[in-house]
Structure 1
């Protein structure tokens, strides 16, 4: 039997035009601060000292970006952010995948109770535990270390919930077929189940990386030495009396430079987000 052909009526396209125009207008509003920041970054500091309205007038210059290349501190902060964000993301992916598989596919005592306790972590704000965490890390001498900056983010309640739901969506017939072939639980997880969850892992990895890259609260508390600053803390520390020191254009160029790695990561892996949301991992 032939499947019915899908036809698109002009009336439906006409009805959707107001929504498209509304989305376009909202996109422009959201992009306005980004365009303003980029405009500031390509203006000389002397012009900006006379007024920021010079953003809309020529000439433009790349001298602020060239000054970044001559600043060793920025590249040190960038390296710290890369190490912390990458380690944070890998830790969340490993622990969330293992915990999600355990909650979704294994039977053990108090499984539902433990899962509910993990979900309570979504309701606890980070500010509520910051004093206890600070004292604990001080006692362990983990402040001003990469491990100290990464470790608090490993316990991701959202990551455990996401991976649990994704593992539950995979048919259990796959597990049973593997068990008939005498495959161990770890082999089933590593060779069969984990590859099927790559879209969910990519989605979780992107959100985790972006969150770790833009994190300001914990690095501000844990990193007290300048050489251990992440990019967000380093840029913020250089904004004091910016008009008399580096200049507004240079700070804007630093902000654009800091956002480029996160944008690149998102553009590379954005298709996995669509696949995960649409549930296209298992057919």
Structure 2
């Protein structure tokens, strides 16, 4: 049976409003990004006279060159990269193990513990910030990479996502592996884990983005300038920027800080589409 591929003009006309809405949303979303890039390639002296100069030539790359030679942005960038990668790897490992246990294993109080974990979705970070600050102060973890990474490892969303994904995998796969005398660890590592790559890619991207853009906890935990993450470092540079470093230089730092997020999304976007479409398990 062949599909009807006849062109219908009325269907095309009905989709035009949606196309216009999508185009408008794309313009609204990209306009601040284009403005930021424009500011980053303008001379600071011109921007001090008026930001409308962003619409006319000349343009320059001097702000990006200054990042290479006279900026602490690389140190902040390194701190953010360590924290983001550490949190992403930790969340993927812990969430995958917990999700597999909740979805495929039987143990006492499994449902109760799972509900307690889900309560973490309802508790805002601000509600526990004082207790967390005191605990990290007692253990001397402030102004350390470990202190910046640890709070992000408890991901209730990650456990929930991986649990639901493991539940969607047919039980026949487990039974076939058990017939071949495979252990639970081998089933998890060799069979189940590869099937969850789309979900792990999605969770990894969300975790990386959250860790990279996090401002609240690094603002509290990192009090020494050399331990600033990129978000705290750029925010600290905004004070009296017109008299010190300049708006163009600050914009160049923001563009520089956005590159890892763009690269990560471009690499793993195929896995996100697969996870959302439900095509991970055939």
> For this structure pair, what is the TM-score category when the shorter chain's length is used for normalisation?
over 0.9
Q: State the Cα distance separating 1:71 from its structure 2 match.
A: 2.6
User: Deviation of residue 74 (structure 1)?
Assistant: 1.0
Aligned match of 1:140: 139
Q: Does 1:119 align with 2:118?
A: yes
For each residue in 1:40-72, what CA deviation from the matched residue of structure 2 results, as whole angstroms up to 9, or x when unmatched? 111111101101111111111111111001135
Q: C-alpha separation between the residues in 1 aligned to 2:226 and 2:125?
A: 25
Alpha-carbon separation, structure 1, partners of 2:108 and 2:141: 34
1:225 aligns with 2:224: yes
Structure 2 residue 16 is the aligned partner of structure 1 residue 17: yes
In structure 2, relative to structure 1, the CA distance for the partners of 1:72 and 1:36 (3 Å cut) is: closer
CA distance in 1, matches of 2:277, 2:9: 27
Alignment coverage as a number of residue pairs: 281
Q: Deviations over 1:143-186 (max 9, x none)?
A: 11111000000010000000000000000000000001110001
- Cα distance change, pair 6–112 in 1 and its aligned pair in 2 (3 A): farther
Residues 58-207 of structure 1 mapped to structure 2, 5 A cutoff: 58-207=57-206
Measure, in 1, the Cα distance between the counterparts of 2:38 and 2:262: 18
Give me the whole-angstrom Cα distance separating, in 2, the residues matched to 1:252 and 1:6: 52
Q: CA deviation at 1:10?
A: 3.0
Which residue number in structure 1 is paired with residue 46 of structure 2?
47
Cα drift, residue 73 of structure 1:
1.3
Q: Is there any run of 5+ residues in structure 1 with no aligned partner, and where?
A: none
Provide the residue aligned with 2:55 in structure 1. 56
SS in 2 for 1:259: helix
Separation of aligned partners in 2, 1:111 and 1:10:
56
The change in CA–CA distance for 1:150 and 1:170 in structure 2 (over 3 A counts) is same
Residue 281 of structure 2 aligns to a residue whose secondary structure is coil
Q: Please, what is the CA RMSD of the aligned residues?
A: 0.9
Name the counterpart of 1:257: 256
- Structure 2's unaligned 5+ residue stretches are none
Give the distance between the partners of 1:232 and 1:77, measured in 2 at CA. Answer: 8
Say yes or no: does 1:214 pair with 2:213: yes
Q: CA deviation at 1:109?
A: 1.1
- Report the TM-score, using the length of structure 2 for normalisation: 0.98
Q: TM-score, normalised by structure 1?
A: 0.98
Q: Give 1:122 shift.
A: 0.5
Query: Which range is displaced more, 4-13 or 102-111?
Result: 4-13
SS at match of 2:121: coil
- Cα distance in 2 for partners of 1:263, 1:38 equals 14
How far apart, in 1, do the equivalents of 2:209 and 2:32 lie?
Answer: 19
Whole-angstrom CA distance in 1 between matches of 2:242 and 2:212: 27
